[in-house]
Structure 1
Amino acid sequence: MDARALLGLYDPADTTDWGPIRAAQMQAGSQLALFMLGANVIGAAMVALLLANLVPQWQLASWGALVAAVALAVAFRRLQVRNRTSVTATLAHVRDTVLDGIALGAVWSIPAFAFSQTAGSEAALGLWIILSLLMTASAVAMAALPLASIVFIAIVGGSVTLVQALSGSPVPAAAAALFTALLILGTFRGGKALVVIRANEMGLAERDETVSLLLREFEEDSGDWLWEIDSQRRVVRANPRFAVSIGADPKTINGTPFLQLLAGPTWEAGNFAAGLRDLAEKLKARETFRDLLLPVYVDGEERWWEMSASPRYDERGAFCGFRGVGSDVTEARRSADKINKMARYDTLTGLPNRLMIQETLAKAISDADKWNSRCGFMMIDLDRFKAVNDTLGHPIGDRLLGRVAERLQQLCTPNETVGRLGGDEFAVVVRDASDSAAMEQLAFRIIEHISKPYEVDQNTLYIGASVGVAIGPRDGRTAEMLIRSADLALYRSKDAGGGVFHAYEPKLHVAAEERRVLEIALREAVDKGEMHLTYQPVVDAGTGRLTGFEALLRWTHPEFGNVSPAKFIPLAEDARLIAPIGEWVLRSACQEAARWDDTVRVAVNVSAEQLHNPAFAKFVAQALTQSGLPPQRLELEVTESVFMHEGTMAVKVLEKILDMGVRLSLDDFGTGYSSLGYLSRTRFSSIKIDRSFVQGASKGEQEAIAIIRAVVALAQSLGMATTAEGVETEEEHHLVQALGCSKVQGYYFGRPLPVNEARALAIRGPGGAIAAA
């Protein structure tokens, strides 16, 4: 308990209502107001008698009158606020009582200072005894108001202690101080006890009131009733509430068979509910039952009742029927059904959700195992759905998901259950999948129907679907295993470009396990020093002079050996590891390039994930500063996929990097979406022509030659250089040179070199041509 709140100095912000508690303090104080008045008057009279022959009479009379006046004023104040604080009291009411303590303490400290010097030792001892008794009486009478009592005791006791100390009596002074401290402590504990008692009384009263309200509400609104049947299971002494609940007249249902009354219209047909059959068995066995749920038809409406009862026996031990209680739990049942449906059905599409799909699949696997048949599971992922959300917004995407759900429901027969797993993933449980051809046809129909155009809010939308199929129990003997198998098959469909379906094969699990192990190793590759960079020369197409290197990442694992970048780079992107690995590459490449000739540049590939991080520009600046590499000697290579993401964050980051003086190159131009818009908006210094076009041109493919000429013309018109990748022969070199490419990169001029060889070549600078390989 907060001591400040107890003393009336602070109003705590808790759940306790201190108003009634303070009122109890004030009422207790007012009840003992006359007692305190009497104590003061009697104490003053005793002091006057004690000092009658030692102190002038006029002094004692004046002091006694002052004590009486102050005591009367205090008593009057206590009694005056009695009505105003009968229910609640404020902090001000409690704080004002400190004035009472100060006034009484001041008048009772006068004898200690004024009369003790003239009195003898015996009279002084008597005076201290009277003051001690008065302080004790105050601790008792004013304990309900601890602030006033503590102030009074502290003033009087302090006066006694001070006088004793000044008179050269340290032991009595210490005793008086200790006595005062003990009285103050006792006063505080007494006040605290009063507050605790009052708080408990308030809590009990509030609880009693709550219970009374609940009982009253139960009596008025409760749907519970009593029922009683005899040994022949006939209703006896029908409770009026029970009769009303069953829709019958209490006077007419006495003697009616209990089960017939509950069965209602189903009695004649004999089509009883399972709950009614359970009730009949309990009655027949004369067993006690509790919370037995059964459906009852009242005025043509199905209601749900919960029944409990115990058998009754007479004095001789003979069975004489049942007595029990029933309650209408229809609303609770409906709420439970609604909650159960919400827990098992998707609110957006109305389809079964992941939980119900798993339960349905588990049942299908159990039946297939029981009847030695097969069941099937399909996982469906929508292709290009994210583009709809990104461009038109989530409300359009949600309506599109509803349309997809409708088409899937139209395709499914009673043999299939379709549901939504979440996001843009759907699933189909096939109870009987014995016909493999039918499973394939269903997968094709799903892809075909989902891929048809949709009209949503005056928007024509095109999406596709990828499907993964697993057969149980062959591909998994539990729902979790079968879902995992279908997920692996779906992953293969997505890797194939989407719009297709694949069935699960055991090798997919091997590949997934290999991928998992590889991902674990990749997370530690940089820290363990397994990553290193190689540098492939980039030369001038006309002179063959070295212009720079492209930094290429390589991974050598102690167990797996050299892991192909085509395998671990996509894995790093999926596992969100490309950003920390890319930062290590950029930092290492800058530190190495700072040792080269001042004219040799280094090119570093940057992922879309890095460029969509606003802090990447700051990291580039730190890498340049820490390495000492001039910004114009760093070239960042990006692919067209960077500009396919929603938003302009990548463009903003690139602008900050370009403002530093860093060069920018567009890699693999022509293999992606190839928009001319971002070429004009972004300050590229060069365009890299993919090796597939170079190889195609060397074979005489006119399309590849035309593409290279178009890219060169476009780059020249925009003031950009062109770099032909993958040049491996002298003929290819002469061809790209004739087509106008300004720089060349490929095995013809050099494979990716270890750092020492690249450093030796770079330190020589571009002074001479690189010999052809």
Structure 2
Amino acid sequence: MPLKGLLSGKEGGLFASGGRRFGGAGANSMSDADKLTMLDELEQSGLGWFWSTDKQGNLTYISGAIADRIELTIPDLIGQPLTGLFESKEGDGRSKSLSLKLGARKPFSGFAVAPSKGNSKVVIRLAGRPAFERNGTFCGFRGTGTDITEEYYREEETARLAKYDSLTGLFNRHRMAHSIETTLTAFRSAKRNCAIMMLDLDRFKQVNDTLGHAAGDELLKQVASRLQRAIEKDCEIGRLGGDEFQIMLPDIDDRGELGEIAARIIAMLTQPYSLDEGRCVIGASVGIAVAPHDGLNREAIVRSADLALYAAKNGGRGQYRFYSGDLENEAIFRRRLEESLQEAIRDEQLFLTYQPMVSAESQKVIALEAQTRWQHPQRGEIDNNEFQSIVENSAHVIEVGNWAIRQACREASQWPDPLRVTVNVPSKQFASEGFVESVSQALSDTELAPDRLELEVKESVFVGDSNVVDKVLGQLFKLGVRLTLDEFGTGYSSLGYLRRAPFDSIKIGESLCPSHLDSHSQELGLVKAVVALAKALDMSTIASEIETIPQQQALASVGVSLLQGSVYADAVSGEEVHEQLETGGWMIEPSAGRGSRAKRRTLLRNIHVIHDDHSYEVTLRNLSKTGALLQGLENVPLDTQFVVDLGGGQLAVATVIRSNRDTQGVEFETPLIGDGAGGLCTRHRVSPYELASAGAPLAALSKGNYNSMQGSMLGDGTSVPKFAYAPVGSTEAA
């Protein structure tokens, strides 16, 4: 249809409405030619475009400006169906409603579309009205179009930024909160599970501080990429800000599977990163909670995952932890421990143990690393790793550090010359006023030769004022103490530090000396390069955390000077040090039998077991992945089946395979799994939905026992016991 026909009242032109013309009696006088000229100018300006279709929906007219904008010719467009030429950009099914409205002959407006051919990046907003002959016969649509490309993409970017993290492209905090909220709401009615992981990067702040924020940003992008590759399950990943990430995994409650995912994430994120500013190595800690077991709504489940993350970081970092009901009390207790550190120093609750550093060539003990422990009145002995995680966030870190140096000098003064003592110096202590004076005073009071005291400092000390750092290092050098740069190879400006500071030794970072290290490992080449660098600078090298013979042999083969780890010896008391030294030179041969064993946390001592419909309270003597030793019931026959209640909804079906009077050895039907912290847990737990169906209100699992679930397989509390309790004091083992 020509523009003249489109404008006229014939066949329902744009100036026709219900059989009346806009230019009727009393209107300004304007010829059709003037109208054509005016609208042609309007089309060319881009302020308004026009189109029309026949009654079948095929284009009969379209402004040339539209055709030019979408890079097609008018012949390419005329005669084609409107719905076939343009596709909806709404993303909500409105292209279908456009087709329906054309079919229903109803007016429409505000439809954002893009051409299916030509320049598909152009976005046009269409509006249209049905047109009728004078006799009421439908003859097609007449409409307008407007180029909204710039506006559309600007709004799209605004919408994207409202959902996504601009740096990593992952979901942002707001989107993750909304997604978790809606998912848990839907899953409650469907009785489905959903796991939440909270992830925090270890040592990220050091990268930011030493290499700059640009390097930190690039590192976060690489972390996001690795996270997406590490998780093969359907999930949503978000960055909450800083170096904190969140992952939602729907329909997973198997803690074995979740543990494998978390371990894979940690392994991938701890591999070295290559940045423009240098190479670096970081770590990661993960906390895991599962809805509805650990929380029913977003606030509860995220809080549970946060507590698990807090426990993972406090447990030594680089690990994952599952939420349990004990973690909240553990967090409270840790805060109390931090508050009572000053009291611990005053009441002499702190003490030192020493781990030998052995010559790789002669197997002779050359130095002993002092490690601080705490004999707590209620908690018992707190080992060095846990103690350090408590101290580093405490206001007493300097006071504890100064105590450790004084005590190490006092005890080392009783050792034969030239055996050295090594003490780790936290960055806060190193930068504190009077630090050098406190070291000097400790040496003077104990009469220990300065070159028998070795201070280990991390690269993070260089984040401070360079003038102050250089001054402190210079004063320590003049004092005569030995200096070691700890965790070398974590990839910041290590070479620059070595040029600036008078270090005697380099302690190679664990990332270059993993437990799987052997003569074929890629990392060994880097270790060899570090050893060569140290020799060129007249420095010795130290490698710690050595757990295996292949690891020890590989490090010795490339010339590492001193080796330290459980393959030689774990930390020993000061008394044991004296006993070893009384025999003369202290020599230690590496042994595979000394490989470090994972720490195991006892879940419960007093637990419940269920047989038939009766619950018994027994003592858990020990626990392994495949079974347990129970004590408290007399003469239980072999092959008796129990449900062992380990607390917190953890029920394990077990069969008695050994029995001797009051003690039974049981074997689990499904092996337990590691809980990420050296302990054990069940893969699955009682579902809160099962408890609800048994008559209990729907709630997250408590840490109590589950031996009275009414209507369930565990009975209703009206049972008759089959076995008798053993007399108190019976201790025979199976």
Please classify the TM superposition score into its range, dividing by the shorter chain length: 0.3 to 0.5
Higher helix share: 1
